[in-house]
Amino acid sequence: MSGTNHRIDGKRLWDSLMAMAEIGATPKGGVKRLTLTEVDQRGRQRFAAWCEALGLTMRVDAIGNMFARREGRDPTRLPVLLGSHLDSQPSGGKFDGALGVIAGLEVMRSLNDLGITTEAPIELVNWTDEEGSRFGHSLMGSGAWAGIYPLDKVYGLRDVDGVTVEDALNAIGYKGEAPAAPFPADAYFELHIEQGPILEREARQIGIVTGAQAQVWYDAVVTGQDAHAGTTPPSARRDALVCAARIIDLVDRMMRARGEDGRGTVGQLHVLPNSRNVVPGEVRFSVEFRHPDTAEIDRLAAQFPREAGFIARDCGTPLQLTELFRLPAQPFDPGCVDLVRQAAARLGLPAREIVSGAGHDAVYVARSVPTAMIFTPCKDGLSHNEAESIEPGEAEAGCQVLFEAVLARANRAL
């Protein structure tokens, strides 16, 4: 089996991660590299320069996705893709996204150092705007590439200052020539931090990601009646916040009824008029459920609106519930997942199968390309946070698994 005795360079990987983290560095040790800003441009340019130094050929598509190609021995083979994203949340960390791109770069560097020519070509990808923080649309680059989001609609999205995606692409010189459309590829591998606590808690170095959870998201509005808190007796109250509170409790109970695989969250909530001595007349909040099993999400999507409606009726405060979207579970490719499993086993790294709870570019890429992901632990499960932290040894282990999986795929017998 190829790759077994080849090692990536953990120190070089870490140094490049830190060098990328300088671009948009925040005082609290995090990163603010919002998509398609001048800061993102500098990140892209540093990445491009690193790729060029390796002799890779850079191609940019119409939504700014960057593909750095290393040719293989067999010109008829489809490329093996690997990568992630370089944009960050407004108060993001050093590793969310950057790890997958910079580890991909380290894979390319190691292939060069080791003088390896793979059978298939390999392309390292930096997807545009995974985070969605600026234009309100996460997985934008991979979604446009996969044909899920029509390009002209994406071009017209605006940030808070009214700048469109198309203008922003042009402003930083990253509206490329290549079409933003799926091209035939043999596989896609993405290394990412878990953004959750499971691997750390179980002391596993590697998460073998078998797929992504099914999800259903809602917007909820409870309408009560503003009333004076001192003068309005219990029988006359229609308190929107009391109703919302009981629905929040319901979401938590419905999650826990599904055991450790359940996810149910009210993350955002606004109270109106939000004044100490006024019974709240309106509460707006988000609800989301996730589960590895699409059927379970379908059951939740049937039960939750009914149960929440009962609560609202009891409270005398009408509930308007809007289902924003429902995504089925996205299983990853068994063959690609198995390459990750084999690499971890061969390296003797403690590993476990895991289902991705977060959205990743890989979820959209998986619709047209055989895909797998590799997770590494992150400290306290923290992400989307300047305190996001991983150990150099964890980055190295994840990158080594990525290297071996990519190499095995690129050299596989057809």
Q: Which residues bind a copy of itself (CB under 8 A)?
A: 194-198, 201, 213, 215, 217, 225-236, 239, 241-242, 244-246, 248-249, 252, 255-256, 259-263, 265-271, 274-280, 286, 288, 290, 356-359, 380-385
Where does 121-236 show beta strands of DSSP type E?
Answer: 122-127, 187-193, 206-212, 214-223, 227-228
Closer Cβ to a copy of itself, 133 or 411, answer by number? 133
DSSP state string for 301-330? HHHHHHHHHHHHHHHT--EEEEEEEEE--E
Closer Cβ to a copy of itself, 141 or 196, answer by number? 196
Closer Cβ to a copy of itself, 112 or 225, answer by number? 225
Distance in Å from the first CA to the final CA of the chain: 15
For the bound state, the minimum distance from the C-beta of residue 270 to a copy of itself, rounded and expressed in Å, comes to: 8
Torsion of CA 146, 89, 193, 178, to 10 degrees: 30
For the bound state, the minimum distance from the C-beta of residue 403 to a copy of itself, rounded and expressed in Å, comes to: 25
For the bound state, the minimum distance from the C-beta of residue 226 to a copy of itself, rounded and expressed in Å, comes to: 6
For the bound state, the minimum distance from the C-beta of residue 354 to a copy of itself, rounded and expressed in Å, comes to: 9
Closer Cβ to a copy of itself, 2 or 232, answer by number? 232
For the bound state, the minimum distance from the C-beta of residue 86 to a copy of itself, rounded and expressed in Å, comes to: 20
182-207 core/surface letters (b: 16 or more CB in 10 A; e: else): eeebbbbbbbbbbbbebbbeeebbbb
Closer Cβ to a copy of itself, 56 or 283, answer by number? 283
- Contact call for residues 341 and 208 (beta carbons, < 8 A): yes
For the bound state, the minimum distance from the C-beta of residue 365 to a copy of itself, rounded and expressed in Å, comes to: 18
Closer Cβ to a copy of itself, 186 or 239, answer by number? 239
Q: Which residues contact 13 (CB under 8 A, 6 or more apart)?
A: 102, 103, 106, 395, 396, 399
CA distance 189 to 124: 10
Q: How far is CA 150 from the centre of its chain?
A: 20
CA distance 375 to 337: 12
CA distance 105 to 51: 7
Tokens encoding 104:
């991909």
Closer Cβ to a copy of itself, 44 or 204, answer by number? 204
Amino acid in position 370: P
Q: Which residues contact 407 (CB under 8 A, 6 or more apart)?
A: 2, 3, 6, 111, 116, 118
For the bound state, the minimum distance from the C-beta of residue 205 to a copy of itself, rounded and expressed in Å, comes to: 17
- Contact call for residues 356 and 212 (beta carbons, < 8 A): yes
Closer Cβ to a copy of itself, 294 or 356, answer by number? 356
Torsion of CA 42, 46, 48, 54, to 10 degrees: 180
Closer Cβ to a copy of itself, 279 or 319, answer by number? 279
Alpha-helix runs per DSSP H in 123-231: 140-145, 151-156, 165-171, 198-201
For the bound state, the minimum distance from the C-beta of residue 299 to a copy of itself, rounded and expressed in Å, comes to: 17
For the bound state, the minimum distance from the C-beta of residue 250 to a copy of itself, rounded and expressed in Å, comes to: 9
CA distance 216 to 149: 19
Closer Cβ to a copy of itself, 47 or 285, answer by number? 285
Closer Cβ to a copy of itself, 55 or 136, answer by number? 136
Amino acid in position 226: D
- Contact call for residues 247 and 308 (beta carbons, < 8 A): yes
For the bound state, the minimum distance from the C-beta of residue 158 to a copy of itself, rounded and expressed in Å, comes to: 20
For the bound state, the minimum distance from the C-beta of residue 363 to a copy of itself, rounded and expressed in Å, comes to: 11
